């Protein structure tokens, strides 16, 4: 069993900089958790503390129930994959894979069996005699993964392992890592600044900002019920649109208004917004929840198309709503729209988000 538990984990660099702040996180045995957030949010520092590469300022780290704060990395039984692969350039792939086991004086026969198994899983057989510089980036990263597999550790730690690869290869390696986790279910923590990577790989996603955890949840939960405006804007691509609106109670319905925009809200949203009547709130709507065309129920508004991005599979529209609100809608590729067109956009019912402008917390029913 190798559950990981982080309790009130803090990291200070010197006296001035507080990089990781009171992080609490329970990772179940065999779970795959992705740590995601913008550059500098403390995700790598958190991972490096789990690995033992960084001292803990305060708080506790447990792996498999054991307090590991003061254990050196080699005694934690974790394997780490780095962005720069960290392969020994003068050794063959085979010797790179064997290195850790030879250090532990494992018999060559056993080492060969472990390497065969890793090579089967990762398709490395024809590369075993090459040197790392004779490999592509993707192949080198597969070797780095292989080196972790042969050690059969309790925990895999990934520090932005796909960042050096091009977009296509990243997508392929993502699938390989997912397949690997299915074949060898091992507790894994994966650090990335790429929310798509986090969402596709993680059983759960941990979103961090400025050293603090913002939300922990399944990919669907953080997408559908973001804990604050930051998470709402960070998760999802293209990002959620935000518009400042004023809440207005009408004769028979509640609405939100901005220049050139008046939207009726659902009964549930109306209940949540009632205490904000007459005040400004932030409305969030995801591009994929805006539909081109009118809807009968007061959820539509006028917009002028400013930019059309034809992606083949879909179109992204940059539109101006009223005086200054810019929004993006994601519409089917076959739609006929051009720059300068006046269009009607409709928000899908129940897909509007509202946030308090000060606390940035959701206003929800």
Q: Does 15 bind ligand ATP (CB under 6 A)?
A: no
Q: Does 83 bind ligand ATP (CB under 6 A)?
A: no
Nearer to ligand ATP, 40 or 260 (CB): 40
Binding mask 148-187 for ligand ATP (x = CB under 6 A): ----------------------------------------
Record the tokens describing residue 17, joined without a space. Answer: 């900089």
Nearest-angstrom CA–CA distance, 60 and 69 = 6
| C-alpha distances in Å from residue 352, one per residue of 101, 191, 255 | 54, 30, 12
Pick the closest to residue 42 from 17, 20, 13, 9 (CA basis). 20
Nearer to ligand ATP, 54 or 244 (CB): 54
Least separation, in Å, of the C-beta of 207 and ligand ATP? 11
Q: Does 39 bind ligand ATP (CB under 6 A)?
A: yes
Q: Which of 4, 25, 44, 146 binds ligand ATP (CB under 6 A)?
A: 44
Pick the closest to residue 36 from 159, 171, 151 (CA basis). 159
Q: Does 13 bind ligand ATP (CB under 6 A)?
A: yes
Nearer to ligand ATP, 46 or 186 (CB): 46
Q: Which of 4, 6, 9, 19 binds ligand ATP (CB under 6 A)?
A: 19
Least separation, in Å, of the C-beta of 278 and ligand ATP? 40
Nearer to ligand ATP, 21 or 262 (CB): 21
Q: Which of 45, 96, 300, 319 binds ligand ATP (CB under 6 A)?
A: 45
Nearer to ligand ATP, 15 or 39 (CB): 39
Continuous segment of H or E residues that includes residue 314: strand 314-321
Nearer to ligand ATP, 54 or 77 (CB): 54
| C-alpha distances in Å from residue 250, one per residue of 168, 279, 348 | 51, 14, 21
Per CB under 6 A, the segment of 36-44, 69-77, 197-205, 353-361 that binds ligand ATP is 36-44
Q: Does 342 bind ligand ATP (CB under 6 A)?
A: no
β 155-159/78-81 pair status = parallel
Nearest-angstrom CA–CA distance, 300 and 343 = 10
Nearer to ligand ATP, 42 or 284 (CB): 42
Q: Does 313 bind ligand ATP (CB under 6 A)?
A: no
Q: Are the C-beta atoms of residues 278 and 247 closer than 8 Å to each other?
A: yes
The Cα angle at residue 264 between residues 263 and 265, in degrees rounded to 5: 110
Record the tokens describing residue 147, joined without a space. Answer: 């080196």
Nearest-angstrom CA–CA distance, 294 and 345 = 6
Least separation, in Å, of the C-beta of 99 and ligand ATP? 26
How many binding residues for ligand ATP (CB under 6 A)?
12
Per CB under 6 A, the segment of 40-48, 55-63, 167-175, 215-223 that binds ligand ATP is 40-48
Q: Give residues 118-147 in contact with ligand ATP (rule: CB under 6 A).
A: none
Residue nearest to ligand ATP (CB): 44
Nearest-angstrom CA–CA distance, 203 and 180 = 14
Alpha helix stretches (DSSP H) within the chain? 43-51, 93-103, 108-122, 137-151, 167-183, 195-201, 219-224, 229-234, 267-273
β 314-321/325-332 pair status = antiparallel
Least separation, in Å, of the C-beta of 187 and ligand ATP? 20
Classify each residue of 64-94 as buried b or exposed e, where b means 16 or more C-beta atoms within 10 Å of its C-beta. beeebeeeeeeebbbbbbbbebebeeeebbb
Per CB under 6 A, the segment of 38-46, 182-190, 237-245, 298-306 that binds ligand ATP is 38-46
Q: Give residues 186-245 in contact with ligand ATP (rule: CB under 6 A).
A: 193
Per CB under 6 A, the segment of 41-49, 59-67, 257-265, 353-361 that binds ligand ATP is 41-49
Nearer to ligand ATP, 40 or 138 (CB): 40
Q: Are the C-beta atoms of residues 50 and 78 closer than 8 Å to each other?
A: yes
Nearest-angstrom CA–CA distance, 325 and 343 = 15
Binding residues vs ligand ATP (CB under 6 A): 13, 17, 19, 37, 39-45, 193
């Amino acid at each position: 069993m190798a559950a990981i538990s982080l309790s009130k984990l803090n990291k200070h660099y010197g006296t001035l900089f507080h990089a990781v702040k009171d992080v609490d996180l329970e990772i179940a045995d065999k779970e795959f958790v992705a740590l995601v957030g913008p550059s500098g949010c403390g995700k790598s520092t958190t991972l490096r503390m789990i690995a033992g590469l960084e001292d803990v300022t305060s708080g506790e780290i447990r792996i498999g129930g054991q307090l590991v704060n003061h254990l050196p990395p080699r005694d934690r039984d974790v394997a780490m994959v780095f962005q720069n692969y960290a392969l020994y350039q003068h050794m063959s792939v085979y010797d790179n894979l064997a290195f850790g086991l030879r250090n532990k004086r494992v018999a060559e026969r056993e080492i060969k069996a472990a390497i065969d198994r890793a090579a089967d899983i990762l398709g490395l057989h024809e590369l075993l005699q090459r040197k790392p510089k004779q490999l592509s980036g993707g192949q080198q990263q597969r070797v780095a993964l292989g080196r972790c597999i042969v050690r059969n550790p309790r925990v895999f730690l990934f520090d932005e392992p796909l960042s050096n690869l091009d977009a296509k290869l990243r997508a392929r390696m993502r699938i390989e890592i997912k397949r690997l986790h299915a074949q060898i279910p091992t507790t894994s923590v994966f650090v990335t600044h790429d929310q798509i990577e986090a969402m596709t790989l993680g059983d759960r996603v941990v979103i961090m900002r400025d050293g603090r955890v913002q939300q922990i949840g399944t990919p669907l939960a953080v997408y559908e019920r973001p804990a604050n405006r930051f998470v709402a804007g960070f998760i999802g691509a293209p990002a959620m649109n935000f518009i400042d609106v004023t809440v207005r109670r009408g004769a028979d319905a509640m609405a939100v208004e901005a220049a050139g925009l008046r939207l009726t809200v659902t009964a549930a949203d109306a209940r949540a917004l009632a205490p904000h009547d007459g005040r400004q709130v932030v409305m969030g709507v995801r591009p994929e929840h805006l539909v081109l065309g009118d809807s009968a129920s007061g959820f539509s508004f006028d917009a002028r198309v400013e930019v059309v991005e034809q992606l083949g599979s879909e179109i992204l529209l940059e539109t101006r709503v009223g005086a200054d609100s810019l929004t993006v809608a994601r519409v089917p590729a076959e739609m006929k729209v051009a720059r300068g067109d006046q269009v009607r956009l409709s928000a899908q019912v129940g897909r509007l988000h509202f946030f308090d402008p000060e606390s940035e917390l959701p206003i929800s029913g």
